[in-house]
Structure 1
Amino acid sequence: MSRVLVTGAASGLGAALVARFVADGHQVLGTDVAEDGGTSYLKLDVRSPADWDAAVAWCEDNWGGLDILVNNAGIATGGRIDVETLDEWDRVVDINLMGVVRGCRAFVPLFKRQRSGYIVNTASAAGLVHPPMMSSYNTVKAGVVALSETLSHELRPYGVDVSVVCPSFFRTNLADSIQGADSAMGATARQLIEKSPRSADDIAAVVVAGIKKKRHLIIPDRPARMAYLSKRFARPLYDRQMRKVAERARQRAEAKDG
């Protein structure tokens, strides 16, 4: 039985992961930004170093340590480079990238003392393949992938494993976090999320199976795997597809502006 902390646990993939871990018999602490989430819940804003310190203290005081840290909290964003504002960039960097960095920094000293631990960072297929009109989201998720690979090597001598999760679109309330100047891009992202045939439970099942096998790169759905493999092994085809997406977006934007 493992001791597990999950951020962004109130809904979406976080809630699905909590349910999976609990069903497998693990002790789970769900965290999110709400003040009260019921039993086995702690308020944690990933932008707050003080909240992270409190989470470490809770795990040490109540469990005597932690086995698995799941950095899952995040928001959806995106937009054309000349439309999305710098304030929007600051927000997504602070939550989606620096939130993961803060979590790792908070718990790595504990894991080093234990000589054991497991960090699971939720990135996205957007961290591996980079569609147009998603500069900010692609950038932060690619950063989470890079951070995870770095830590997988850096922390191995201490007995700490690291996985990074890279799903494509799946049904969740993540679309509710979309806000910003590029409303056209936001509407497209919402449609892709809400019409996906995959649920958060579907993704969580594959993620937990990957964690059990200690896979570093967990790509939990076929569209994400195909996009990743296309970029690696059929780059001209991948580039043509990305440019088609960009051209269709240009045509829509010019038609709307005209």
Structure 2
Amino acid sequence: MRDFAGKLAVVTGGGTGMGRELVRQLVAEGASVAMCDLFADAMAETTRLCEADGVTQGARITSHVVDVGDEAQVIRFAAEVARDHATDHIHLLFNNAGIGGGGSFVLDDRAEWDRVFQICWFGVYYSCRAFFPMLERAAEGHIVNTSSANGFWAALMPGVSQTAYSAAKFAVKGFTEGLVTDLRNYAPHIKASIVMPGGVGTPIGLNSRRVLSGEGMTEVTRRKLRQHLKAIGMPGGEDMDDAALEAAQQMLARRFEELAPTSAAQAATIILDGVKADRWRIIVGDDATRLDRRVRAEPERAYDPDFVAYAAD
């Protein structure tokens, strides 16, 4: 699929981050896009940005409020895409939606752990199931599943647990790699790619809290934020009230977006270039490339306390 003009793409998690930038760049290249997200306000901003960029004549953008961790909602989403775009087929499926949380299997609440796994893994699986008949009907199709550097290295940083997210992203990676052969055997006009980003500047932290806890602070979010502040060496977290904790979280989110080695827009460009080049394995960012190389070279060292410094060399 060398260009996207005239194609119909489905993008999950299109309200912010990489999903938003994928929508913007696809529309700029002349594709129509059906995006979903949990938050209508976020998708409205994505649409506004696309319109400000200039929507190519003939391209359409539709927004759908969907929880990808709920199979019935994903099935409804597929039906809405067929109805709103007056079609029985799509060309591109970007399974991008995801949240963080459930870091510790030992300490964290099971409901949070399961919610993270449900969105990050089953959201991909449900979407592939729901949209596969529409991909089969297209002359050519491409499934693009977002895993993570945490899909080949199950840690966020030394000493920090990352179990739910990593387990889900490993599952996405294995499933997509299995699809490469499965599609070649039985649906050769459809391709599959796995995306493994490193540090990308997105508001995943704030989005995750919004999904898991709503807009306000809960006792769980207070505890986890205080633990995080302590882990990164910020003193005084144990004495902060809700307003101070909120300000600290907003500051950390801004700092993450600003200091991440790859921007969301750059990540989207790398992904779309990878699809055009028919690459089944798309690593996003030099940090992810270095980490992947080190994990492959010395897997037994991958969880040693000094591994991150070693991988950065």
TM-score by length of 1: 0.84
What one-letter code is carried by the residue in structure 1 that aligns with 2:278? Answer: K
For residue 128 of structure 1, report the CA deviation from its aligned partner: 1.1
Among 133, 139, 149, which residue is 2:161 paired with?
Answer: 133
* Pair 1:218–1:54, CA change in 2 (3 A): same
* Pair 1:223–1:65, CA change in 2 (3 A): same
Whether 1:124 aligns to 2:154 is no
Contact 1:122 1:164 in 2 (8 A): yes
Contact 1:89 1:136 in 2 (8 A): yes
For residue 229 of structure 1, report the CA deviation from its aligned partner: 0.7
What one-letter code is carried by the residue in structure 1 that aligns with 2:13? Answer: G
What one-letter code is carried by the residue in structure 2 that aligns with 1:88? Answer: E
**Match of 2:24?**
19
What one-letter code is carried by the residue in structure 2 that aligns with 1:160? Answer: I
Whether 1:211 aligns to 2:275 is yes
Indicate the percent of aligned positions where both proteins have the same amino acid.
Answer: 29
Among 100, 115, 118, which residue is 1:76 paired with?
Answer: 100
**Match of 1:196?**
260
**Match of 1:252?**
none
* Pair 1:243–1:206, CA change in 2 (3 A): closer
**Match of 1:168?**
198
Among 55, 58, 65, which residue is 1:43 paired with?
Answer: 65
Q: Which shows bigger deviation, 215-224 or 127-136?
A: 127-136
Matches within 5 A, 1:84-95: 84-95=108-119
Structure 2: unaligned runs, 5 residues or longer:
45-60, 213-220, 233-248
Query: How far apart, CA to CA, are the structure 2 residues paired with 1:78 and 1:48?
Result: 18
* Pair 1:93–1:231, CA change in 2 (3 A): same
Secondary structure in structure 1 of the residue aligned to 2:201: coil
For residue 135 of structure 1, report the CA deviation from its aligned partner: 1.4
* Pair 1:78–1:224, CA change in 2 (3 A): farther
Contact 2:91 2:138 in 1 (8 A): no
For residue 35 of structure 1, report the CA deviation from its aligned partner: 4.1
Contact 1:124 1:166 in 2 (8 A): yes
For residue 243 of structure 1, report the CA deviation from its aligned partner: 6.3
For residue 91 of structure 1, report the CA deviation from its aligned partner: 0.6
Whether 1:3 aligns to 2:1 is no
Secondary structure in structure 2 of the residue aligned to 1:193: helix
Q: Which shows bigger deviation, 207-216 or 82-91?
A: 82-91
Whether 1:60 aligns to 2:75 is no
For residue 98 of structure 1, report the CA deviation from its aligned partner: 0.6
For residue 172 of structure 1, report the CA deviation from its aligned partner: 1.1
* Pair 1:30–1:244, CA change in 2 (3 A): closer
TM-score by length of 2: 0.71
Q: CA offsets, 1:87-118, max 9 Å, x none?
A: 22111111111111100110112323446421
For residue 16 of structure 1, report the CA deviation from its aligned partner: 0.7
Contact 1:3 1:63 in 2 (8 A): no
Contact 2:196 2:282 in 1 (8 A): yes
Query: How far apart, CA to CA, are the structure 1 residues paired with 2:29 and 2:110?
Result: 43
Query: How far apart, CA to CA, are the structure 2 residues paired with 1:45 and 1:127?
Result: 22
Structure 1: unaligned runs, 5 residues or longer:
246-258
For residue 3 of structure 1, report the CA deviation from its aligned partner: 0.7
Bigger radius of gyration among the two:
2
**Match of 1:98?**
122
Matches within 5 A, 1:137-152: 137-152=165-180
Query: How far apart, CA to CA, are the structure 2 residues paired with 1:106 and 1:204?
Result: 24
Query: How far apart, CA to CA, are the structure 1 residues paired with 2:96 and 2:171?
Result: 14
